């Protein structure tokens, strides 16, 4: 025979009305002729005695606990962490792309201006996206040298624009030229000027995270040799679009500041929502550098990276 059977009976009755019948504590108190504080104590008893058991069914493909630890550690607005074992970047391109596509479909708002960079994971997101709120989309940089055709930023831009029904503002040109005079002329070209004039109005920016050590960055591989040597000498660890970042999260100036057709670091910093997408253990140090510097408001990554970052 259980002790205090009357209390357990009352706790069960109160819990049933509160959790199953959606009655308020005040309604239950009035019906049973007891105080609202008594109702609260009985609900506590129901949980403590196991009369009520609460299960939280987390999204199966997400690791909620790691996401929250990551969000808190780096003071992010949001973190999405794909659950699973430690994996290389190559194994995560498609699943992270699908997760990013779902996130954009859920969080974008009609009338916003979305800035788009490039990258394998963003290309996967562009393939996965189905229907977006009506947003305009602007290309945040010209095409880096040696970029794989599957990551073509103009194509990514148009895929997102078709899914949203909004306007597309492509940037038909290279990400940089080494002649400052030619850069000035290109920036004045109508379609390029049309895109770049919108950089100060971007509401949401979607960007892949490039790693420089180990090299998992098309920007690193495409840089002129003297630029790359100079950047590595100054301990560049990561890139976000045209911004180079060292191990401590600080910007490392580069020739892109002078001869680039791309979003500037100052413009990047001013964008209200900056969503970084990247995963794989070899990218963990680059992602950590980016988060240390406060360059992102949201990170979409995998559990292997998250475990490493929250353990440090």
Q: For the segment 98-130, what is each residue's pLDDT rounded down to a tens digit?
A: 999 999 999 999 999 999 998 889 999 999 999
| pLDDT number for residue 146 | 64
Please tell me the chain's helix, strand, coil percentages from 3-state DSSP, rounded to the nearest 5.
50, 15, 35
Confidence of residue 7 (pLDDT cuts 50, 70, 90): confident
- Tens digits of per-residue pLDDT, 28-81? 999 988 999 899 999 998 988 888 887 655 555 899 999 999 999 999 999 999
Secondary structure (DSSP) of 170-212: ---SBSB-S-HHHHHHHHHSHHHHHHHTTGGG-SEEEEE-EEE
Closest CA to 64 of 85, 54, 79: 79
Give per-residue pLDDT as tens, 136-174.
999 999 988 766 655 688 889 999 999 999 999 999 989
Cα of 238 vs its chain's centroid, Å? 16
Write out the CATH class of domain 64-311: alpha beta
The predicted pLDDT at position 232 comes to 92
Confidence tier at 194 by pLDDT (50, 70, 90): very high
Over residues 226-248, the pLDDT tens digits come to 999 999 999 999 999 999 999 99
Domain borders along the chain are 5-48, 64-311
Average pLDDT, the chain: 91
* Domain 5-48 in this protein, CATH class: mainly alpha
pLDDT at 148: 62
Least confident among 4-13, 144-153, 177-186, 202-211: 144-153
pLDDT at 116: 95
Contacts (Cβ under 8 Å, ≥6 apart) of 259: 176, 177, 178, 179, 180, 183
> Which two three-digit tokens encode residue 33?
């002729």
């Amino acid at each position: 025979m259980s002790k205090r059977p009357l209390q357990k009976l009352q706790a069960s009755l109160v819990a049933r009305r509160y959790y199953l019948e959606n009655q308020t504590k005040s309604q239950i108190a009035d019906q049973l002729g007891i105080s609202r504080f008594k109702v609260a104590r009985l609900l506590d008893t129901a949980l403590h005695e196991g009369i009520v058991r609460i299960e939280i069914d987390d999204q199966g493909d997400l690791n909620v606990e790691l996401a929250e630890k990551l969000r808190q550690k780096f003071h992010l607005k949001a973190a999405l962490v794909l659950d699973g074992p430690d994996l290389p970047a190559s194994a995560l391109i498609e699943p992270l792309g699908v997760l990013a596509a779902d996130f954009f479909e859920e969080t974008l708002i009609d009338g916003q201006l979305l800035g788009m960079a490039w990258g394998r994971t963003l290309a996967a997101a562009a393939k996965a996206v189905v229907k977006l709120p009506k947003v305009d989309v602007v290309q945040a940089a010209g095409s880096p040298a040696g970029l794989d055709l599957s990551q073509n930023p103009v194509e990514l831009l148009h895929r997102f624009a078709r899914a949203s029904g909004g306007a597309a503002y492509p940037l038909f040109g290279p990400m940089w030229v080494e002649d400052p005079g030619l850069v000035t002329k290109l920036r004045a070209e109508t379609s390029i000027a049309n895109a770049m004039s919108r950089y100060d109005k971007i509401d949401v920016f979607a960007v892949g995270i490039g790693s420089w050590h180990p090299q998992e960055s098309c920007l690193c591989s495409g840089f002129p040799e003297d630029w790359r040597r100079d950047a590595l000498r100054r301990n560049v660890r990561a890139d976000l679009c045209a911004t180079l970042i060292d191990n401590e999260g600080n910007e490392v100036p580069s020739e892109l500041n002078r001869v680039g057709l791309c979003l500037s670091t100052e413009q990047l910093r001013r964008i209200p929502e900056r969503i970084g997408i990247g995963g794989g253990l070899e990218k963990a140090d680059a992602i950590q550098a980016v988060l240390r510097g406060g360059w992102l408001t949201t990170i979409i990554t995998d559990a292997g990276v998250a475990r490493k970052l929250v353990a440090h």
